[in-house]
Amino acid sequence: VSTSESGRDALKRAAAEAAVAMIEDGMVVGIGSGTTAAQAIAVLGERVAAGLKVTGIPTSEKSAAQAQQLGIPLADFAAHQQIDLAFDGADEVEPGPLNLIKGLGGALLREKIVASASRRLVIMVDGGKLVPRLGSRAPVPVEVVPFGWQVTARRLAELGATVEPRRDAAGSFVHTDGGNLTLDCRFGPIADAAALACRLREIVGVIESGLFIGLTSEVIVAEPGGIRRLHPA
């Protein structure tokens, strides 16, 4: 796999094109967040400009702004509670169940709400994001209420994680679109991601974790040799 920036960008674009090709006229579409999703939004913008009729429900303020700029009509859950297809990126994918780690790019909660309201969740990655066990490389981002975050962080550490609050380059806490904090929790390779997701949810102060369990319909994997499609085993 090419590790150069332009090589990775080309793979993201290839995955994005394959995902957006699945979108049909009249669909309500969940619009993901992150750099791969941004490529897909650009491709979707081209199709909308060419006459495709869709309604988008964005998963972050950033994606909403990009979609709006490209003339993609947007709505929210007041208008549609059922999404036909959502596209998004991921930080790690475990082949087999196609469980995911998401949220390293900052969004997570809205992504999970959109994913859970979608008939199909299509994930776009390059081959470098496939791991035998979630947590092999990435931390699990956990969105928490700012009040008492230190207590929440301690509880997360008791589960065996090294916990770091997400900060920007200047050292300030990063706030999510919902005004919350993100704690990056390094567990190392996770033997049972579904069980861990449940345990995380039980901690007071935790809003959601970046473990996406049983939500993925299809993963589009872009590699230098071409596109592969994975379905949950």
Residues noted as catalytic: 111
**Is 63 within 8 Å of 39 (Cβ atoms)?**
no
135 binds ligand A5P (CB under 6 A): no
By beta-carbon distance, which residue lies closest to ligand A5P?
34
Nearer to ligand A5P, 34 or 135 (CB): 34
Minimum distance of ligand A5P from residue 120's CB (angstroms): 16
Q: Which among 18-26, 77-85, 86-94, 218-226 is the span making contact with ligand A5P, rule CB under 6 A?
A: 86-94
- From the list 126, 156, 117, the residue with the least C-alpha distance to 223 is 126
Looking at the Cβ atoms of 111 and 208, the one nearer to ligand A5P is 111
Select the span of 62-70, 84-92, 170-178, 223-231 touching ligand A5P (CB under 6 A): 84-92
Applying CB under 6 A, does 139 fall inside the site for ligand A5P?
no
The reply to whether 34 sits near ligand A5P by the rule CB under 6 A is: yes
Q: What is the dihedral of CA 176, 179, 181, 182, to 10 degrees?
A: -20
Kindly state whether residue 103 participates in binding ligand A5P, applying the rule CB under 6 A: yes
Cα gap 152→141, rounded to integer Å: 13
| CB 104 to ligand A5P: min, Å | 4
Structure tokens at 219: 């993963």
Nearer to ligand A5P, 90 or 134 (CB): 90
Distance from C-alpha of 180 to C-alpha of 111, rounded to nearest angstrom: 15
Angle, in degrees to the nearest 10, between helices 61-69 and 35-49: 30
Please state, in angstroms and rounded to a whole number, the distance separating the CA atoms of residues 158 and 28: 41
Choose which of 29, 52, 104, 215 interacts with ligand A5P (CB under 6 A). Answer: 104
Q: Is 92 in the site for ligand A5P (CB under 6 A)?
A: no
Pick the stretch among 47-55, 99-107, 149-157, 213-221 that binds ligand A5P (CB under 6 A): 99-107
Q: Does 91 bind ligand A5P (CB under 6 A)?
A: yes
The region that residue 167 occupies, defined by phi over 0 for left and psi between -120 and 50 for alpha, beta otherwise, is beta
If one asks whether residue 106 binds ligand A5P (CB under 6 A), the answer comes out as yes
Rank residues 148 and 214 by Cβ distance to ligand A5P and give the closer one.
Answer: 214
Binding window for ligand A5P (CB under 6 A); candidates: 28-36, 48-56, 155-163, 191-199: 28-36
Q: Which residues bind ligand A5P (CB under 6 A)?
A: 32-36, 88-91, 102-108, 111
